[in-house]
């Protein structure tokens, strides 16, 4: 896994311009690093390569968490990864750091593509409930990434609300769907109200300018993430 490195993007509380944590993002080691999507897709679909990746990832994380014991980090897992036993061994091995970690479940897998073997919807739901319950029992927080997209539709979010601590909404991903500004804000407001109704943390990412940040702050959306606050970087500052 020598071709990978970890980058970090800050999450800001705009009430006091304070960093409240970082999302850990995987990057390659090219001059202009980017997420190695094809490589990771191959790793995720190969059990042995995925096992090796988790060993590397665990070593990197332990070193990081020991260096920054008061900082909270989010780490991303695709749904398919949750069906590998090795992933839950990883969660067990990292359990002593659970309070520092938020497990973000990405939206990038269709419902049934997530499982290792073909299963019906009822069996899938039972299995996923069991997976989420196991992660929660180990003391981790769980977040759903990019709600309203891919696997993380409203129907799916509702199924797993009892296990969730946070949901994240991406302005950038919605903008790419060619929504007009009014529709985008209605969609955003709906998810904000959803998070408040179910007592979930709500993070909006994709903030690229002060005007957008200020507008969201006026709406009561206080935890924000995006290039306006900082691009993914190899270095971090301690949260204050």
Q: What is the pTM of this model?
A: 0.91
Cα gap 49→55, rounded to integer Å: 10
What pLDDT does 173 receive? 66
Whether the CA torsion 64, 68, 69, 73 is positive or negative: it is negative
What pLDDT does 67 receive? 95
CB 125 within 8 A of CB 159: yes
Greatest C-alpha distance within the chain:
48
What pLDDT does 240 receive? 46
Q: Which whole-number Å values give the CA distances from 14 to 144, 219, 236, in the listed order? A: 21, 12, 18
Place of tokens 């924000």: 224
Averaged in consecutive runs of 10 residues, what is the pLDDT profile of the chain (240 residues)?
92 95 95 92 93 97 96 95 94 98 83 56 83 97 89 86 95 68 86 96 95 94 95 77
Cα gap 113→45, rounded to integer Å: 10
What pLDDT does 112 receive? 44
What pLDDT does 33 receive? 93
In the chain, alpha helices (H):
37-44, 47-67, 85-93, 121-137, 154-160, 171-175, 181-197, 210-218
Q: Which CATH number fits domain 4-225: 3.30.420.40, 3.90.1150.10, 3.20.20.450, 3.30.70.100?
A: 3.20.20.450
What pLDDT does 156 receive? 83
Q: What is the DSSP string of 68-95?
A: -TT--EEEEE-GGGGGSHHHHHHHHHTG
């Amino acid at each position: 896994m020598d071709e990978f490195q970890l980058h970090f993007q800050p999450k800001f509380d705009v009430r006091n311009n304070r960093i409240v944590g970082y999302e850990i993002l995987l990057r390659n080691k090219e001059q202009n690093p980017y997420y190695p999507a094809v490589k990771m897709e191959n790793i995720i679909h190969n059990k042995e390569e995925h096992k090796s990746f988790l060993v590397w990832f665990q070593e990197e994380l332990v070193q990081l968490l020991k260096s920054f014991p008061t900082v909270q980090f989010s780490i991303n897992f695709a749904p398919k990864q949750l069906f590998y036993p090795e992933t839950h061994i990883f969660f067990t091995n990292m359990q002593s750091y659970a309070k520092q970690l938020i497990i973000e479940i990405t939206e990038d897998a269709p419902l049934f593509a997530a499982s290792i073997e073909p299963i019906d919807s009822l069996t899938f739901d039972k299995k996923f409930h069991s997976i989420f319950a196991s992660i929660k029992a180990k003391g981790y927080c769980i977040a759903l990434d990019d709600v309203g997209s891919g696997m993380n539709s409203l129907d799916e979010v509702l199924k797993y609300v009892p296990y969730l601590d946070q949901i994240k909404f991406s302005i950038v991903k919605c903008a790419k769907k060619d929504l007009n500004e009014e529709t985008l804000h209605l969609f955003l407001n709906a998810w904000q109200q959803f998070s408040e109704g179910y007592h979930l943390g709500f993070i909006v990412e994709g903030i690229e300018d002060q005007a957008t940040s200020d507008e969201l702050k006026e709406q009561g959306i206080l935890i924000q993430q995006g290039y306006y606050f900082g691009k993914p970087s190899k270095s971090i500052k301690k949260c204050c």
